[in-house]
């Protein structure tokens, strides 16, 4: 069983002929409520104590349960939460009015309240209009889901007894459904449990408010301070996790940039190495002329537009036959060298270098391949350009 308090606000009140104040207030609603894990699982039996804020589901079967609704009728209205459950022995000390009725208004449970104490009515007139239900409820722990898809770690299975409705100041920051500043006790609580709760309250010590994170708490209430510190620590841990994740993402991005720079540098080097120069072209032409002359010297004919590899393959096929079937380029080149090592060209091959005067010009397939290489380099650098 968990002791809970929910906040609500007074509607526009009216006065009776006797000076009493009558008002209808929405007291509870269905939906998802947020609690600190330490409030609903203080002994950590369900692993929720250190989870910070958690969601608890309250469905209409619980809120509008007939027995639960009726348990509030006739119970007192108090000025702030008493430090003990209201009963016949202390009613005179705490009662400032009465819950006259309860009914459903849409998704809300509403109470008809009658305030009968002049001093309390004056406080309402002065602006003190927040209300907090004091009741006990049984929780079911597990995996639950609201109709809107919100996941919850528990749900209120049953409200076991309304005890009072308290007039309070503006709700504190953080989870509003908390009762650490005043326990809302059900009538059925045991004497031992009540004594333990009362002993922890330190009634006679003055209240000293301190701010921990977003919450303002009583510094003399150790449990309230612990809860606030736990909530702050959770926020700090989350912030640290986010910062670590950001640093990891940055490092990964920097590594990716470095890898891309290396890849671009390698491509540029390959492009530079592959660039055709007049000297390279002259050497290639001379080498091609030698291959042609050696092929003619060993009596092998070839097409005029055949390249060096095709000419060497023609020579090897002519001389080796099926033995050379399936050979790769390196094997063919080696065999050609052996087959033509003693070949004597009919006449010394001449190479006309005049074609290269005035600089190197890429034409035909050579020009297309050169442009393709430059386009590839530009593609690798495209990621650096802003959109």
pTM, 2 dp: 0.42
DSSP string for 68-91: HHHTTTTPEEEES--SS---TTTH
Quick check: 327 and 335 in contact, CB under 8 A? yes
Could you tell me the pLDDT band of residue 36, with boundaries at 50, 70 and 90?
Answer: confident
Question: What pLDDT, on the 0 to 100 scale, is given for residue 89?
Answer: 93
- pLDDT, tens digit, 9 for 90 and up, residues 323-346: 888 899 999 999 999 989 888 776
Least confident of 79-88, 263-272, 348-357: 348-357
DSSP string for 215-252: EEEETT-HHHHHHHHHHHHHHHHHHHHHHHHHHHHHHH
Quick check: 176 and 215 in contact, CB under 8 A? no
Least confident of 36-40, 132-136, 241-245: 132-136
Least confident of 16-30, 308-322, 347-361: 347-361
Report how far Cα 173 is from the mean position of its chain's Cα atoms: 24
Residue 119 predicted with pLDDT over 90: yes
Question: What pLDDT, on the 0 to 100 scale, is given for residue 374?
Answer: 60
CA 254 vs CA 223, 261, 343, 379, 383: distances in Å:
47, 11, 60, 20, 14
8-22, 149-163, 176-190, 268-282 — most confident range = 149-163
What is the average per-residue pLDDT within 144-155? 93
Question: What pLDDT, on the 0 to 100 scale, is given for residue 368?
Answer: 63
Question: What pLDDT, on the 0 to 100 scale, is given for residue 244?
Answer: 92
Task: Please report, in angstroms and rounded to a whole number, the separation of the first and last CA atoms in the chain.
Answer: 61
Quick check: 64 and 76 in contact, CB under 8 A? no
Residue 281 vs residue 259, higher pLDDT: 259
Residue 186 vs residue 281, higher pLDDT: 281
């Amino acid at each position: 069983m968990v002791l809970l308090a929910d906040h609500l606000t007074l509607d526009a009140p009216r006065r009776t002929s006797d000076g009493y104040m009558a008002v209808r207030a929405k007291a509870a609603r269905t939906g998802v409520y947020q609690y600190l894990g330490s409030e609903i699982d203080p002994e950590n039996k369900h692993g929720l104590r250190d989870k910070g804020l958690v969601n608890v589901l309250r469905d209409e079967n619980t809120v509008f349960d007939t027995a639960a609704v009726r348990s509030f009728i006739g119970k007192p209205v108090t000025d702030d939460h008493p430090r003990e459950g209201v009963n016949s022995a202390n009613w005179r000390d705490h009662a400032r009015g009465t819950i006259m009725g309860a009914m459903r208004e849409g998704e809300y449970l509403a109470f008809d309240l009658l305030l009968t104490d002049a001093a309390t009515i004056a406080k309402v007139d002065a602006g003190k209009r927040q209300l907090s239900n004091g009741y006990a409820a049984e929780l079911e722990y597990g995996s639950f889901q609201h109709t809107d898809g919100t996941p919850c770690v528990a749900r209120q299975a049953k409200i076991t007894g309304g005890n009072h409705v308290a007039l309070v100041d503006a709700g504190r920051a953080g989870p509003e459904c908390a009762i650490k500043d005043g326990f809302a006790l059900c009538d059925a609580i045991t004497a031992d449990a009540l004594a333990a709760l009362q002993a922890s309250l330190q009634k006679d010590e003055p209240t000293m408010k301190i701010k921990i994170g977003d919450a303002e708490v009583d510094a003399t209430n150790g449990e309230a301070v612990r809860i606030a510190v736990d909530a702050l620590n959770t926020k700090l841990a989350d912030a640290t996790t986010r910062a670590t994740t950001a640093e990891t993402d940055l490092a990964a991005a920097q590594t990716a940039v470095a890898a891309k720079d290396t890849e671009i540098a390698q491509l540029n080097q390959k492009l530079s190495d592959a660039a055709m120069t007049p000297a390279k072209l002259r050497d290639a032409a001379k080498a091609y002329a030698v291959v042609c002359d050696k092929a003619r010297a060993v009596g092998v004919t070839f097409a005029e537009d055949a390249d060096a590899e095709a000419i060497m393959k023609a020579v090897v096929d002519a001389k080796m036959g099926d033995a050379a079937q399936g050979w790769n380029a390196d094997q063919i080149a080696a065999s050609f060298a052996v087959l033509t090592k003693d070949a004597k060209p009919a006449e010394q091959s001449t190479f006309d270098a005049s074609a290269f005067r005035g600089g190197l010009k890429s034409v035909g397939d050579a020009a297309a391949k050169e442009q393709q290489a430059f386009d590839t380099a530009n593609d690798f650098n495209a990621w650096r350009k802003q959109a």
